[in-house]
Structure 1
Amino acid sequence: MRTVIFDLDGTLADTSADLIAAANHCFIEMGVGPQLDAVGDAETAFHGARAMLRLGLSRMGDVDEAVIDKWYPALLDAYDDNISVHTSLYPGAIEAVESLKSDGFAVGICTNKPSGLAEKLLNNLKIRDIFGSMIGADTLPVRKPDPRPFFAAVDGVGGNRAQSLLVGDTNTDRETSRNAGVPSVLVAFGPAGDTVATLKPEAIIEHFDELLGVSRRLLAD
């Protein structure tokens, strides 16, 4: 079965504002006040909790990895408490998924978000049941760009690894697809915009209504 696996943050949903808020909670607790901007730093949010802490600390002076390790759990707790306050699905995301399924594609998710948080968010957004698999950062001992989580997502929906692709928004997704030997489709409607072209994916989409046609072309028999 042809299979399309989706990244979550920055691909299916714009989670940046809630992620930035969780990071700023940590900086406030440190006594230094918010260090990140919900709009200007949105792209960093999609690179994970540690990336946000690292960026904020860099604006205060030297970055101490021990400080990042200390505050990482607190950031996740703060995010867990307010995981879907500002988060929204990108326009056309669910329609694209349903169109793929109607056309005979299997669909799943492979994210570097901890699995518990990913499951909670998907359930809050009321979309968990439309995906046949969900592999998070801690489902396996490895995470993207290692290809094994991607393969686990494909296998979880009974898909064909040789007839699969990954839809994402960052270099991590591009490298995952390259390591897996499958096509990547990167979205240009996230914070990175058209700069995703520098990652040289097999395809770029400006809107989710393009995804079905692109998937048919890339996974043609």
Structure 2
Amino acid sequence: MADRRAGTVVFDLDGTLADTSADLIAAANACFQARELGALLDPVADALIAFHGGRAMLRAGYARLPADRLLPPGAEDEDYPRLLDHYAGAIAVHTRLYPGTEAALERLAADGHILAVCTNKPAALAEVLLRELGIRDRFAAMIGADTLPVRKPDPRPYIAAVQDAGGEVTHSFLVGDTDTDRKTARAAGVRVALVAFGPEGAGLSRLSPEAMLDHYDDLPALAADWLGQSRRQ
């Protein structure tokens, strides 16, 4: 059982633990191609859009259609479940953990910290992806977009992730990669470290997080500074 004195480190998933953008964009493009629209999104240039969710990708693609190409009413609502189906069938083809992720998780656990995931990805897909990446057993709790009636930046999913993991919100912090994570941490009254190795990079410093994380090698020291250490015996 995790040491109650240990701090809790909560991670976002897409764009924080792993670069999932190429597989997400492939799922959106599959929807566009089914409508004979072609591949409207680029897996590199549009990586940042992918981390804002499936509907954001669909809307970005539709916006690139010529003015005389009209979509039927409700196209987004039709395509969104199709996007999820495409994604579920090819969830980890191109997805990779960011450098140093596994070593950082191992070190945090060795230092006695509790680990959890709080993501706006549907919970079932998040569970599958974490298993495919080989890191699901590192986390004591996982809260997805549909675990509760609300999602980030509402603080309740974050609070649930910490509490389900056996931690205390006042002794926790969030690692994320978007303004949504910044707002979530602020709403929950905790600190946030935003990663500088995702698509937006160092530009996230405009959000004034308590820390910017240049590499996962730096996370254990940050956790020790913010939460202390409680090494397991």
Matched, 1:60 2:68: no
Deviation per residue, 1:55-85 (Å, 9 max, x gap): 1011115797832112100000000010010
For 1:140-155, list aligned pairs within 5 A.
140-155=148-163
Quick one: which amino acid aligns to residue 14 of structure 1? Answer: D
Match of 1:47 in 2: 52
Please report how far the alpha carbon of residue 157 of structure 1 lies from its aligned counterpart in structure 2 after TM superposition: 1.2
SS of alignment partner, residue 74 of structure 2: helix
For 1:64-213, list aligned pairs within 5 A.
66-213=74-221
**In structure 1, C-alpha distance between the alignment counterparts of 2:157 and 2:190, rounded to whole Å:** 13
Deviation per residue, 1:86-126 (Å, 9 max, x gap): 01100100111111111111001000000010001111111
Query: Is the Cα–Cα contact under 8 Å of residues 7 and 228 in structure 2 kept in the other structure?
Result: no
Deviation per residue, 1:166-211 (Å, 9 max, x gap): 0000001111001000000000000011110011100001100001
- Select the residue among 39, 60, 63 that pairs with 1:34: 39
Please report how far the alpha carbon of residue 156 of structure 1 lies from its aligned counterpart in structure 2 after TM superposition: 1.2
**In structure 1, C-alpha distance between the alignment counterparts of 2:93 and 2:228, rounded to whole Å:** 40
In the alignment, structure 2 segments of 5+ residues that lack a partner are 1-5
TM-score (norm 1): 0.96
TM-score (norm 2): 0.92
Match of 2:3 in 1: none
Please report how far the alpha carbon of residue 218 of structure 1 lies from its aligned counterpart in structure 2 after TM superposition: 2.5
SS of alignment partner, residue 212 of structure 1: helix
How many correspondences in the alignment? 221
Please report how far the alpha carbon of residue 220 of structure 1 lies from its aligned counterpart in structure 2 after TM superposition: 4.8
Larger-gyration structure (1/2): 2
- Select the residue among 25, 29, 48 that pairs with 1:24: 29
Quick one: which amino acid aligns to residue 128 of structure 2? Answer: K
Q: Percent identity?
A: 57
In the alignment, structure 1 segments of 5+ residues that lack a partner are none
